Structure 1
Amino acid sequence: MGTLRDAMGYPLLRAGLIMLILALLISVAGFYRVNESYSTSGTLGEGMHYLGDDKFESEYLYHNRTLILSSSGANLSLIQGTKITNYTLANREITLHPEERPVIYVFNGSVNYTYGATAVDYPYAVYSLLAFVLMLVGIVISFIGYTQFLRDVKEGKK
């Protein structure tokens, strides 16, 4: 009967197992996450204002947004997709957590704002495709090497 040491003497089986281990390591690296953040502040006059950075909003996943608005007397609307919310700020500050990139329409007055967004990025996730292909090739090569090993054991060569 053949042993593991005998089986590892077959180059195809060894190469296939190395590919499988490498594919596992690459796929684990895909879980590495990085927190990204974006912040801006300023004063908004009358009119329509798009807050945030379009590249940041579209590039990263799982946004956590915070919008702080303050004014001594302004009327504004917060537009998020099809949802419109009206606010009247009279010497007060409100903190909102928009679900989408905020669009603010200021009717009168000026509004001070602070907008911050944090997101999650998985920079090595794209390599999981390489790991998947490496895994498939590793399985095929390992199977071919294992069948060669079994054939030799059956014939009595090992």
Structure 2
Amino acid sequence: MGTLRDALDYPLLRVGLALLVLALLISVTGFYRVDKSYSSNGTLGGGMHRLGDDKFETEYLYHNRTLVISSSDANLSLIQGTQIVNYTLLNREIRLHPRERPMIYVFNGSVNYSYNVTAVDYPYAVYSVFAFVLMLVGVALSFIGYTQFIGDVREGKR
């Protein structure tokens, strides 16, 4: 009966297992995450204003948004998709956590705002496709090498 040491003498099996280990290591690097953040603040006058950075909002995942608006005397609407919420600010501050990139329509007065967004980026996730291909090749080579080994054991060569 052949042992594992005998089986590892077959080059295809050895290369296949090495490719599987390499694929596993590459796929683990895909879990490396980097926190990203975006921040803007300023004063908004009358009219429609879209806050945030379009590139940042579409490029990264799992956004956590915080919008702080304040004014001494202003009427405004916060628009998020199909939802519109009206606010009247008289010497007060409101802290909101919008689900998507906010639009603010200021009817009158001026509004001070601070908009902070944190998100997550997985910069090495694209290599998981390469790891998948390596895994397929590794499985195929390992299977071929194992089949050769079993054939030699049956014939009594090992």
Q: Which TM-score band (shorter chain)?
A: over 0.9
Equivalence for 2:86: 86
Alignment of structure 1 residues 11-26 onto 2, 5 Å = 11-26=11-26
Task: State how far apart, in whole Å, the 1-side matches of 2:154 and 2:91 are.
Answer: 88
Alignment of structure 1 residues 9-158 onto 2, 5 Å = 9-158=9-158
- State the superposition RMSD in angstroms: 0.6
Task: State how far apart, in whole Å, the 2-side matches of 1:148 and 1:29 are.
Answer: 33
Task: State how far apart, in whole Å, the 1-side matches of 2:151 and 2:50 are.
Answer: 69
With the length of structure 2 as denominator, give the TM-score of the two structures: 0.98
Which consecutive residues of structure 2, in runs of 5 or more, have no partner in the other structure?
A: none
Q: Secondary structure of 1:125's partner?
A: coil
Equivalence for 2:8: 8
Task: State how far apart, in whole Å, the 2-side matches of 1:121 and 1:59 are.
Answer: 8
Task: State how far apart, in whole Å, the 1-side matches of 2:57 and 2:18 are.
Answer: 40
Q: Secondary structure of 2:126's partner?
A: helix
Which consecutive residues of structure 1, in runs of 5 or more, have no partner in the other structure?
A: none
Q: 1:38 offset after TM fit, Å? A: 0.3
Q: 1:153 offset after TM fit, Å? A: 1.0
Structure 1 residue ranges, 4+ long, deviating more than 3 angstroms after superposition: none
Task: State how far apart, in whole Å, the 2-side matches of 1:35 and 1:155 are.
Answer: 58
Task: State how far apart, in whole Å, the 1-side matches of 2:133 and 2:63 are.
Answer: 31
Task: State how far apart, in whole Å, the 1-side matches of 2:83 and 2:26 are.
Answer: 42
Q: 1:139 offset after TM fit, Å? A: 0.5
Write the letter of the residue equivalent to 1:91. N
Write the letter of the residue equivalent to 1:131. A
Task: State how far apart, in whole Å, the 1-side matches of 2:5 and 2:140 are.
Answer: 20
Task: State how far apart, in whole Å, the 1-side matches of 2:72 and 2:143 are.
Answer: 74
Q: 1:155 offset after TM fit, Å? A: 1.1
Q: 1:154 offset after TM fit, Å? A: 1.1
With the length of structure 1 as denominator, give the TM-score of the two structures: 0.98
Task: State how far apart, in whole Å, the 1-side matches of 2:94 and 2:150 are.
Answer: 72
- Report sequence identity in percent: 78
Write the letter of the residue equivalent to 2:85. T
